Amino acid sequence: MRRLAVHIIIVQILLIGNQLFGWGYDEHRRISRAAVQAVSGEFGDFLQNNVDVLSYNSANPDFWRKVDPDELPRHFLDADLYDEYPFDRIPRDYDELNAKYGADVVVQNGIAPWVVEDYYFKTIDLFKNKKWNESIHAMSAMSHYIADLHMPLHTCANYNGQLTGNEGIHFRWEKSLVEGYVNEIIPNGSAEYIADPVEMSFTIVKESFAVYPELLKADTKARAPLTEAQADSLNTYEKLTFEDEYLSVLYDETSEILHERLNSAAQRIASFWYSCWIKAGSPEIQ
Ligand SMILES: [Zn+2]
C-alpha cells in the first residue's frame, strides 16, 4: 500500500501539467548562439564578442518561472482564446487589450508579444545610455520570449494536445525531437529592421499558429501503434523505451516545420537586436 502511494506520487510529479517550458534550455542557447551569426558589421562584432553570455542566459526566463508566479504567462499567447486566425481583432495596444478583456483574462491567455515589446524599448534605452553590459542581459532575455513564440504550441489553447488526445506532444516535439534530430540551427536570412515589435510578434504568432495542427496530426500518427499505457507515458518527462520509433514518425511528418521554426527564431532574434541598435541611433560601441 505504501509502495503504491509512493508510486502514485512519483507518477504525478512526472506527469506534465501546465508547466511546459518552450524550447529546452539547450535549445534556447543554441537558437540565441545561431542568431549572432545573422548580424554583421560593428554591431555583429559586439554580439560575437558577447556570444557566450548572450546565449547562456537566454534560458534564464525558464528558471525565473520557478520562483516568480508572474513569469509563466510571459512565455506564450493563446491567441485563439481571443479571436479566430489571423487574429486581426486582438488589440495590439496592451492598455486597449486590458480594457477590452480585463487583466485576469489577459494574463491567463499569455502576454509574450508585450514582453517582447518591453524588452525592445528597454534595450533601445540601454543602447542610448551606452549601458552595454546591461544591454547584453536584456537582449538575452528578449531572445527567449521571441524564440518561445516560434514554438507553434505556444500560440494556441490546445498547447499540449490536451483537447485532442495528443497529451505530451509539447515536450516531445520541442525538446526530444530537437535533441535527437537537429544538428544545426542556421538563421534563414540576415537581420532585418523591425519597426513595430508587437506587430512582428503577431506575425510570428500567425506563422506558428498556422502550422500547429500539423504537429497534432503527426503525433496522432506516431502514437497510433502504441498501447494505451505507452501513449499515456508520452505526457511525462521520461525517456521512453519506444520513444525512438515515435520520434522518427514525428520527425518524418514535421521536419520541415521544425527546422523552419528554429531557423526563423534565430533570424527574428537577430532582427530584434539589430533593430534596437538602429533605433537607438547606431551608437558607437566601446
Ligand atoms: Zn519559455
pLDDT value at residue 56 = 97
**Tell me, what's the pLDDT at 23?**
83
CA of 75 to the centre of ligand 1 (A): 5
**What gap in Å lies between CA 103 and CA 109, rounded to an integer?**
10
Closest CA to 200 of 275, 132, 123: 275
C-alpha cell at 57: 542566459
User: What pLDDT does residue 21 have?
Assistant: 64
Contact call for residues 127 and 135 (beta carbons, < 8 A): yes
In whole angstroms, how far apart are CA 155 and each of 66, 146, 211, 236?
21, 12, 10, 21
Mean residue pLDDT of the chain comes to: 93
Q: What does the pLDDT average to over 115-142?
A: 98
Whole-number pLDDT of residue 231: 97
Q: What is the pLDDT of residue 286?
A: 78
The reported pLDDT for the residue numbered 24 is 86
**Where do the domains of the chain lie, and which CATH numbers do they carry?**
19-279 (1.10.575.10)
- pLDDT for the residue numbered 216: 98
CA of 22 to the centre of ligand 1 (A): 4
Average pLDDT over residues 167-188: 96
**Residue 181 confidence class, pLDDT cut points 50, 70, 90:** very high
pLDDT digits (tens, 9 = 90+) for 243-278: 999 999 999 999 999 999 999 999 999 999 999 999
Mean pLDDT computed over 106-125: 98
- Cα 229 to ligand 1 centroid, rounded to whole Å: 29
CA 201 to chain centre: 12
Tens of pLDDT, residue by residue over 73-110, are: 999 999 999 999 999 999 999 999 999 999 999 999 99
CA of 74 from ligand 1 middle (Å) equals: 8
Q: How far away, in angstroms, is 61 Cα from ligand 1 center?
A: 6
The mean pLDDT value for 1-11 works out to 45
Give the mean pLDDT of 31-53. Answer: 98
| Span from the CA of 286 to the centroid of ligand 1 (angstroms) | 32
pLDDT of residue 259: 98
